[in-house]
Structure 1
Amino acid sequence: MTTPVSNASEAASGGSAARGRAADVRPIIRLVRAAFVMLMILLTMLYVIRVGATPTGELSVSLAIAWWLPILVGLLLAMVFLAADVFTPTKKIQVVSGVAFGLVAGLLASWAMTQVIDLVIATWDLESDPVMQQLNIIPALKVLLGVSLSYLGISTVLQTQDEFRLVIPYVEFAKQLRGPRPVLLDTSALIDGRIADVAATGLIQQPILIPQFVLEELQVLADSQDRTKRTRGRRGLEIVAKLQRLGTADVSIDETPVSRRAVDQMLVELAAVLPASIMTTDSGLARVASIQKVAVVNIHELAEALKPAVLPGQVVTVELLRRGEHAGQAVGFLEDGTMVVAEDGEGRIGERVSMTLTSSMQTAAGRLLFARIDVGERDDPEHDPEPEPSPAPKPVRTPLGPGGERPSARNPRRG
């Protein structure tokens, strides 16, 4: 039977699969590099070797004068370009596109400037000036101007690439987000686990991305010798597996390469590049991301915002409006419309009374609160009905005797 930890471990091994795919590409890259070097040598040798025919008609093969110089230049160029390829393994299409666009813009600007320079020279007939002929500064000026404008174009594009996006096959000079911004989960959010319950409700419509380096950190924690760290790591991997099984969220593993630094810094950099927002429980990461203008959702703040307005044990003042379903109950409502059922409150209908909440119940129609009337309110003499005075006893009249005398209290039988 496959456990959630093993499923999450398989998810964490997605990065190793990606590295495996990269390893499959490496032989092809080596082959391309070798072909590049051989092509450079071949082209150089075609320049060096002179093939011709002798006066007698025989084939003649000879080397050019200073044949070693072209070969040396070709090898140096090959080494320079190979070094640039090898020492920049994490190339970004945005940077490459920016360099290409800046270079083209610089070359176009330099071409326009050289046309202006040629027009000025032809208008003022500077080519016939002996000083200009001796200095021969015009060609050098054109080359330096082209290099300078190309540098300025590349530098400008790279420094302002956040202000516009280079979209192949056209250039879009507007910073525009297409589709919902994805959500990046960090290690603390996965270990916390509440994100899985939130995603199960279907509330999160954006794509949920789990960076590969976050999975690697969870795997390191799960393999730790420390019991606490091991438990936290395995819980995070279980949450990853749970998220992947959900049908209400679009969850994927992001393998975008970023510079190897601290996980928090890598997360902020990745969120800025995509762009995406970060979901975390780490207040330090939230502050750093906010400083760098990256959107952050703190799960603790989200839980605080969703916390009920009232909790059992709190005292509320409610006007009782009508009888409840059971005998002795009365019903009132809070300002937000939450129903409050007051036990033994039937006699207080139509009054505002203070009650202490005892329990709550969530129903399909909403939240239902139960409360009891405070003892002080129940024993308040102002609200107790005044007892009616008992009627005074009526005097009993003793009937008079035959002679108008009242009968004696003595027993007549005793005389």
Structure 2
Amino acid sequence: MAKKIARAILALVGAGLGVAVVEGVNELLIYFWNFNMHRKLIEWGLALIYIGAAVLFAILLYLLAPRLIEGFTRFINTVESRLADMSMAEIFFGVVGLIVGLVIAFLMSTLTAKMELNWLAFIINAILYFTFGYLGWTVVTKRKGEINTPSWFKRGAKEKAGKTSVMARPKILDTSVIIDGRVTDICRTGILEGNMIVPSFVLRELRHIADSADPLKRNRGRRGLDILNTMQEELEVPIKVVETDYEDIAEVDAKLIRLAYDMGGVVVTNDYNLNKVAGVQRVPVLNINELANAIKPVLLPGEEMTVSIMKEGKEAGQGVAYLADGTMIVVDGGRRFLGEEAAVVVTSALQTSAGRMIFAKLKDR
């Protein structure tokens, strides 16, 4: 509904723009050829020109409205993300620089007050205000270190630095990590800061999976929806569903990367391929599998432990055991202890894309 209202408003703006264009063309004709449409043309012909221009520009903006709305939304999200990463002192100095730049632009715009072509004066003034406003903001924020900062700003900056150096980036969840469910336990620990973002296209994909004819897919989709409900009801971390979509992109993974780039956020996933593609496009990723591997206990060569030999290994005489976190231990000579506990000594460890593998030998008795 909101998009329809926005398209209607843009159509009205287009109609007004069409009338303004006709007025601008009339001023050009007067300036260069001394031809005034209001005096030279009959009333109904002039009315048709105005109506035709208004209708043409209204249709044009109505058709371009989806792209304009998407671009405006992306711009707002980017500005919001940038402002969220700035301290209060930076925003204050930026506003001061913006005001100074606009004052300078206002003084310079007086030079165009006597121009006969009003439309040209308007364009020049718009360029002046935009340029000096932007320069005022950027120059002052970049050189704020040369300005004596009030003590209350310094105190606020120290308090903020004591907690975190920058505002937390939004975490954008993909379908696989929601179905996986471990993100809920990670959020309970409090190590994930910032808003948890669930894009509308990810929610649609979950609903599609939950409605699948395949029982396995249907259960996975319903599990994902249940996990989302649990996160919204039980966790203190804010969960937000964003309606941003990219109709020109078909794949959900590509949409996720685009959304993370536009919002300045982090993609949370356990999808290996999505992790690699996002890395190529320089979009930050939090891979749940990598996090799980990182927090597994480190076993150094020479450490002793007691394990239960669960099955035979690939090589002759080998036995395979598992730690509580699922880490595989290959025990040289452990086959004869199949189904029993054995004391082993760690010899080496190997990190693979699938996880960590530990090699051990039987402890000498």
Are the counterparts in 1 of residues 304 and 343 from structure 2 also a CA contact under 8 Å? Answer: yes
**Conservation of the 8 A alpha-carbon contact between 2:18 and 2:58:** no
CA distance in structure 1 between the aligned counterparts of 2:280 and 2:211, rounded to whole angstroms: 34
The one-letter code matched in structure 1 to 2:211 is D
Deviation at 1:38, TM superposition (A): 9.7
Work out whether 1:85 is the aligned partner of 2:62: yes
Residues 10 and 62, structure 2, Cα contact 8 Å, conserved in 1: no
How far the C-alpha of 1:89 sits from its partner, in A, is: 1.9
1:278 equivalent to 2:267? Answer yes
SS of corresponding position for 1:243: helix
Once the two structures are superposed, residues 167-187 of structure 1 have per-residue CA deviations (whole angstroms, 9 ceiling, x without a partner) of: xxx955779x96211111101
Gaps of 5+ in 2: 23-39, 79-101, 143-164, 306-341, 346-360
- Correspondence 1:227 to 2:215: yes
1:298-332 Cα offsets, whole Å, 9 max, x none, are: 11111111112249xx96259xxxxxxxxxxxxxx
Distance in 2 between residues matched to 1:254 and 1:64, nearest whole Å:
52
Q: Which residue number in structure 2 is paired with residue 26 of structure 1? A: 4
SS at match of 1:87: helix
Residues 84/195 of structure 1: CA separation in 2 closer, same or farther (3 Å cut): same
2:184 maps to which of 189, 192, 196:
196
CA distance in 2, matches of 1:67, 1:203: 70
Question: Structure 1 residue runs of 4+, over 4 Å off?
Answer: 27-41, 94-98, 170-175
- Indicate yes or no: 2:42 matched with 1:65: yes
Kindly state the Cα deviation for residue 356 of structure 1 after the two structures are TM-superposed: 2.7
Shift of 1:219: 0.4
- Whether 1:218 and 2:206 are equivalent positions in the alignment is yes
Question: 1:85–1:211: structure 2 CA closer, same or farther, 3 Å change rule?
Answer: same
The aligned counterpart of 1:76 is 53
Shift of 1:206: 2.0
Distance 1:238 1:71 in 2: 60
Q: For the residues of structure 2 that align with 1:66 and 1:30, how far apart are their CA atoms?
A: 29
Q: Does 1:305 align with 2:282?
A: no
Secondary structure (helix, strand or coil) at the match of 1:184 reads strand
* TM norm structure 1: 0.45
Aligned to 2:252: 263
Matched-pair identity in %: 28
- Conserved? CA contact 2:18–2:57, under 8 Å: no
CA contact (8 A) 1:190 1:236 kept: yes
2:231 is aligned with 1:252:
no
Give the number of aligned pairs.
Answer: 239
Secondary structure, in 3 states, of the residue corresponding to 1:225? coil
CA RMSD across the alignment: 5.1
- Unmatched tracts of structure 1, length 5 or more: 1-20, 45-62, 99-104, 119-138, 158-164, 319-353, 358-372, 378-415
Q: TM-score, normalised by structure 2?
A: 0.51
Q: Is the 8 A contact 1:188 1:282 kept in 2?
A: yes
Give deviations 1:340-391, integer Å, cap 9, x for gaps: xxxxxxxxxxxxxx9537xxxxxxxxxxxxxxx96633xxxxxxxxxxxxxx
Superposed CA offset, 1:194-227 (max 9, x none): 1111112222122211111100100011111122
- Structure number, greater radius of gyration: 1
Q: Does 1:207 align with 2:195?
A: yes
SS at match of 1:376: coil
